[in-house]
Amino acid sequence: MIKLIIFDLDGTLVDSSVDLTNALNYAIEPCGIEKLTAKQTKGLVGEGITKLIEDLLGPDRCDVHSLTLDRFMSYYSDHLVDFTVPYSGVVDTLKDLSSFRKAVVSNKRESLSKAVLGDLGLLRYFDLVLGSDSVGEKKPSPKPLMKVMEALSCRPSDTVIVGDSNFDIEAGRAAGTLTCAVTYGYRDARLLKNADMHIDCFHDLLGLLTAK
């Protein structure tokens, strides 16, 4: 019986692709790199902003990695939820899941994750929020999930992770939890075929878990 639900953030609970794209384009502008589209950004996010910027700049621009990251953080911190919104059904479903313990594990930094959730009125639904800098390792490492389970006194057999990325599924498998992939998020659904469960709409989560 599931007692704890661990959620990914970007691409699962919220669509933040436009705000991330705007911040990335501001950050890389001095480097002469072609601007990204929101669709391109969706395919890039998942491993944290530091890795994303390193990939965008490549090894030939390693001298400006820190400056570019600083530009991203400065812009993004001021424009977290200009266009970011919860996916359809998220708010109502979180209310309906009140009997479950709930946490967020994101590869976005903890302070930014909490700020996004707070600004959107979602933070109150979660017992714990961890980010890429919370435990020293990020998904697909199982350590953030294990930290949540320890903090909330739940076992892997009591827990499911819900996310849109193969990193979420890999982290869940490594931690011994059930895994539920959302097919409406940022990642190609073909990367999620190894998940235990799949949902096409966030609304579907309640019925899926209460049937367990």
Read off the pLDDT of residues 178-198 as tens digits, 9 standing for 90 and up: 999 999 999 888 889 999 999
CA 53 distance to own-chain centroid: 17
Active-site positions?
8
Spans of the chain below 50 pLDDT: none
Please state which of the four CATH numbers 3.40.605.10, 3.40.718.10, 3.40.50.1000, 3.90.1200.10 is assigned to the domain occupying 4-15+84-210: 3.40.50.1000
pTM for the structure as a whole: 0.94
Distance separating alpha carbons of residues 54 and 68, to the nearest angstrom: 9
Check if the beta carbon of residue 67 is closer than 8 Å to that of residue 50.
no
pLDDT of residue 62: 72
- Sorted by where each begins, the domain ranges of the chain are 4-15+84-210, 17-78
Query: 72-98 burial by CB neighbour count: b if 16+ within 10 A, else e?
Result: beebbeebbeeebebbebbbebbeebe
